[in-house]
Amino acid sequence: MTGTVFDKLDKYGWYALLIAMVGDILISWILPCFYKDHSCLKLSVSALGNPQSPVRIPFNIWMLLEGILFLLSLPVIYKCFHETSRGLTFLLMLFILVFAIGACIFTCFFSVNESKDIVTTASKIHGAGSVIGFMLFLFVPLLVALLSFKRYHGIVGTVSIICFVISFIFFVLFVMADKPEFSNTKLANEGLWQRLNLMFMYMPLIIVSVKNIV
């Protein structure tokens, strides 16, 4: 009976993680439909929360919820991987924790402005939190790959490595898109690169979540 209860709690943790990631991907494409001045190709996801955005409130509520969902998933991630490697597991949990706070919860309370030329204290805090959060989460697929190989889950490990490489490429393109020298080139699709980066960053944990739920 006790085992059944703990099994259910574990599944809730995986559901929380899955909802956070799939929800983030869907929200980044759906909310722009209600914001005519927002281009999914040109503008970053966080621009949906700027003070002039008509979808600011639902976006900010989602970012807070997403951060909480990531935090709720940490115990089940520990339970799943700690026997394989405590060091890698703690790194994985730390990277998710920083992303949940810096790139999700901070985004709810500290928004960017409609124009990047307007810099405020809130936008600086948002920028720092997002940069640190994204840079750390970028290595989550690599950590999942290492843990998977240690657990003899070769397919998940291989897919995670591929996702790491692809997400890293899109992250580099995302950074380059913001540079003035690329402003009039095909690389200047900041929003597209970020959304694709998110998809491949999340994919390994999405696979792990689905496997544990099923």
pLDDT at 10 over 50: yes
Distance CA 136, CA 2 (A): 36
pLDDT of residue 11: 86
**In which residue are the tokens 């943790």 written?**
13
pTM assigned to the model: 0.91
Q: What is the mean pLDDT of residues 25-36?
A: 95
Please state the domain extents for the chain.
2-213
pLDDT of residue 149: 96
Query: In 3-state terms, what secondary structure has residue 191?
Result: helix
- What one-letter code names the amino acid at 115? S
pLDDT of residue 77: 96
Distance CA 165, CA 93 (A): 21
pLDDT tens figures, 62-84: 999 999 999 999 999 999 999 99
Distance CA 182, CA 185 (A): 5
Buried b (16+ CB within 10 A) or exposed e, 177-211: beeeebeeeebbbbbbbbbbbbbbbbbbbbbbbee
